[in-house]
Structures are given as structure tokens and as C-alpha cells.
Amino acid sequence: MKKVLIIGYVWPEPNSSAAGSHMMSILRQYTQQNWQVEFATPSQPTDHMIDLASEGISSHQIALNCDSFDRYISDYQPDIVMFDRFMMEEQFGWRVEKNCPKALKILDTEDLQCLRHARHKANKENREMTQIDLFSDLAKREIAAILRCDLSLIISSFEMNLLTNTFKIDPRLLHHLPFMVDLAKCPTTTRPFAERQHFMTIGNFRHAPNWDVVLHLQQIWPLIKKQLPKAELHIYGSYPPPKATALNNPKTGFLIKGWAENALVVMEQARVCLAPIRFGAGIKGKLLDAMIMQTPSVTSSLGSEGMHDQEPWPGFIQDDVTEFVTAAVNLYNNEQVWLKAQQQASSLLASLYDNRLLGPRLIATIIDITANLASHRLANFTGSMLKHHSMMSTKYMSQWIAAKNAH
């Protein structure tokens, strides 16, 4: 039985974020193999964190820049270590290498943070992203972490192409893993057109692209409301700050609803999901939830990026504000257009997000690399070089902090 250690950036909150939901789908794949799974994180517990024990997963609190981790991992001796985002690999990767050199190291990127930050910078300056934006210091850190690991999980087909074609990463170090959906648990029928009303969007308010969506919808919503005076826009999401709740306006139907106990329930009540996303990376959990609940959506080309490949989108993709409004009103008013979009959601889920296909592929890749780990690492000279150089500097900085903290 393999022993797996996940070093988490935060405790998983599947009801708060797509990242939390994605993490849990990966952990469940591991437990389904009857592997022993432990989740360790330096993050503090939260109100919305999942009960890992109920999933058969043990947990452990660890500390940053502390030699206690060395003792902990030496005792646990995992066969596989998965880092949740590159910052955890930076912090703990050298300690894993020192104490468990034969453990397979996996990086779950969630999304490419260097891509998200580059787009955010360009968006703030109202221009297109450039290669200078992309090849930032953050990118150097993130790409180095990918190269130091044996395998990195990449959520979007766009990001797979970016890593192989622009950053020249060996495809053998990458595994495309979109959200894994249990299609057997997806509803075959949901509320009909006539029983749904209003527009909605959802997203963790702490995530900058989601907050930008709310601000952008402030500009778009009056144009939709003018054509649909009885409609409302319901905005859900965990951790709404005061600046968000201050935008709540019952007169205009722009309603900040905050935390949703169940994202799928509120998604099913809405007729249309709006996601005018202007920057970000990865793939969007809100749009996947919309597909699962057969709720047509209107999003941007960036919102749909890496999510549908050649399949038709279950709704509309529009970047121009005027065309976005037209598409939203059309979907809301026209049942035939709405039903066609709904059917496209089901076929898209089946073709790209079926966990019965994605899960076994992931496990097969892990088992194959584990069986050929020495030759796999030998082929990754750049990764070996980065371990030798940059991990030494990370190691000595961390040891200095640990020594300083001891006094």
C-alpha cells in the first residue's frame, strides 16, 4: 500500500473554491486505490474546511522554516509527496529531497499563477499581456518548481500548450488533469426554464479575478436590467469583504448574497450564469458547476479558455460588453436557445470531465513514472541542476530562519 503525503497551501474548502473541490477529487482518487493518504499544511484551520477524517484521510499541522518537518516526514516516509501549488514545493521540497529522496514528487499547480499575475498586470494597465509580463520573477519560481518535480498536474489545455511551446517544458513532466466530475452523481434533469429566474454568478471574493467580475458586472448589469426590468443578479461567494456587501442594491436588483451553503442548489435556481472574466488562469469552477446543473452561461473567451476545446459552448462566449448583454438577454428570454445550450452542457461534461476516464489515467501515469523513476529523473537534467543550485539557496535561507526562530 502506497503512502501519500499532500503538503497543502490551505485546508481544502470544496464549498468555497474550485481549487478546494479539485484537491478533494484528487485525494479521493488516491484513497480509492487503498493508498494511505495524509494531508499536512502550515495553514490555520478555517470554518469552511472539509472534515478530512470522514474521507479516510489523516491530517497534520506543520510549520514553515522549522526542522520539526524533517522529523515528521522521516517518521512518515511517504512513497508519494504532492505539493499544493509551487510555494509549498519551494518551502518543503528540499526537506522532502533530503529525507525521502526516492519519494515521487508531484506538483498540483491548480492554475499557473505566473499567467494569472501577468494577465492581472496587463488588465490593470488596460492593455494586452506581453511576453515580458509572462516571463516574470514569479514565472521563474513557478517553472523552476515544475522542473524540480517528477510530475506536475496542469488543469487547462491552454496551460499545457503554454508550458510545452513557450516555456519548453518536457511533456513527460506534465499531466493534463481538468476537473474530475462524477457523472453518475450529476442530475439528469434539473429545473425547467419556466421554473428558473434571475441571473447569478459565484466565486470566492478573496480571489482577485472573481472580485473583478463583480466590479465588471456593476457596469454590465444596468444594460441587462434596462431590457429585463424584473430580473435580478444574485452574486454568491465565500468571504465577502465590506466593500462587496456595500454594493448590495435591492432597487437595481444587484444583490450580494455572500456564502452559499450549496453552490449547485443556487446555480439550479438561476436561469443564466454570468461570468465576464477579464483575467485569470486555469479553468473556472463556476462554469463547470453551471454545466453540471444544466444552467447556460455567458462568459468571455478567457473564461471559457481551456474548458471546451472543439466542443460548442453551453451558452455564449462574448468579450464585447454590448454583445455580452445581447447574448445574456437572448438566453434569458428564448427557451429554444436556452434548451440548446443546456444540451451542449451534457455532451461537454461527458467528453472532457468524466472522472471514470480522467482518474485512471492519472493513477496509471503515477504508477508508470514510479516504476521508472531513475530513468525519468535522468532525462530531466534541468530539474536536477535546479535542485542542486536553487534548492541549496532555499535550504540555507530556511535553516537561517529556523536558527533565528530558535533564539
Co-location of 282 and 369 in the same domain: no
Same domain, yes or no: 385 and 298: no
Q: Which domain holds residue 166?
A: 3-180+355-406
Whether the per-residue pLDDT at 158 is higher than 80: the answer is yes
* Banded pLDDT at 401 (limits 50, 70, 90): confident
312 vs 12, 60, 237, 287, 350, CA distance in Å? 32, 44, 28, 14, 13
Tell me the C-alpha distance between 168 and 161, whole Å: 9
Instruction: With beta carbons less than 8 A apart as the criterion, state whether 358 and 177 touch.
Output: yes
**pLDDT band, residue 170 (cuts 50/70/90):** very high
Q: pLDDT over 70 for what percent of the chain?
A: 98
Residue 391 — very low, low, confident or very high, per pLDDT cuts 50/70/90? low
Question: Is residue 80 located within the same domain as residue 197?
Answer: no
> Which three three-digit cell numbers place residue 219?
457596469
Q: Are strands 272-275 and 36-41 parallel, antiparallel or unpaired?
A: unpaired
User: Is residue 68 within 8 Å of residue 95, measured between CB atoms?
Assistant: no
- Considering the domain architecture, whether residues 338 and 225 belong to the same structural domain is answered as yes
- Kindly report, residue by residue over 294-319, the tens digit of the pLDDT: 999 999 999 999 999 889 999 999 99
Q: Give the pLDDT confidence score for residue 18 in this predicted structure.
A: 82
Residue 93 pairs in a beta bridge with: none
User: What is the predicted pLDDT for the residue at 352?
Assistant: 96
Q: Is the pLDDT confidence value at 395 over 90? A: no
Query: What pLDDT does 393 receive?
Result: 67
Do residues 344 and 399 share a domain?
no
What's the maximum distance between 2 C-alpha atoms anywhere in the chain? 71
Query: What average pLDDT is seen over the chain?
Result: 95
Is the pLDDT assigned to residue 19 strictly greater than 90?
A: no
Q: Is the pLDDT of residue 407 over 80?
A: no
**Residue 65 and residue 48 share a domain:** yes
Range 359-378 average pLDDT: 98
Q: What is the mean pLDDT of residues 333-357?
A: 96
Structural domain total, the chain: 2
User: Do residue 23 and residue 146 come from a single domain?
Assistant: yes
Which residues on neighbouring strands pair with residue 256, listed in sequence order? 235
262 with 145, same domain? no
The enclosing domain of 7 has a CATH number of 3.40.50.2000
Element (H, E) at 258: strand 254-258
Residue pLDDT, tens place only, 194-237? 999 999 999 989 899 999 999 999 999 999 999 999 999 999 99
Please check whether residues 64 and 172 belong to one and the same domain: yes
Q: Is the pTM of this model over 0.75?
A: yes
Q: Say whether both 193 and 159 belong to one domain.
A: no
Statement: residue 406 has pLDDT above 90 = no
Tell me what pLDDT residue 394 has: 66
**Residue 325 in this model has a pLDDT that exceeds 90:** yes
Strands (E), 149-198: 151-154, 174-176
Q: Given this model, what pLDDT does residue 261 score?
A: 87
Residues 298 and 393 in one domain: no
- What is the pLDDT averaged over residues 141-161? 97
Strands 3-7 and 174-176, how do they pair? Answer: unpaired
**For residue 310, what pLDDT is reported?**
86
Cell 488543469 found at: 155
Q: What integer pLDDT is reported at residue 253 of this predicted model?
A: 97
Query: Which residue is listed with cell 494597465?
Result: 125
Q: Would you state the pLDDT for residue 375? A: 97
Give the residue-averaged pLDDT of 101-108.
97
> Which has the minimum average pLDDT: 43-47, 128-132, 171-175, 249-253?
43-47
pLDDT of residue 390: 62
Same domain, 159 and 303: no
With cut-offs at 50, 70 and 90, classify the pLDDT of residue 14.
confident
**Count of all residues that appear for the chain in the document:** 407
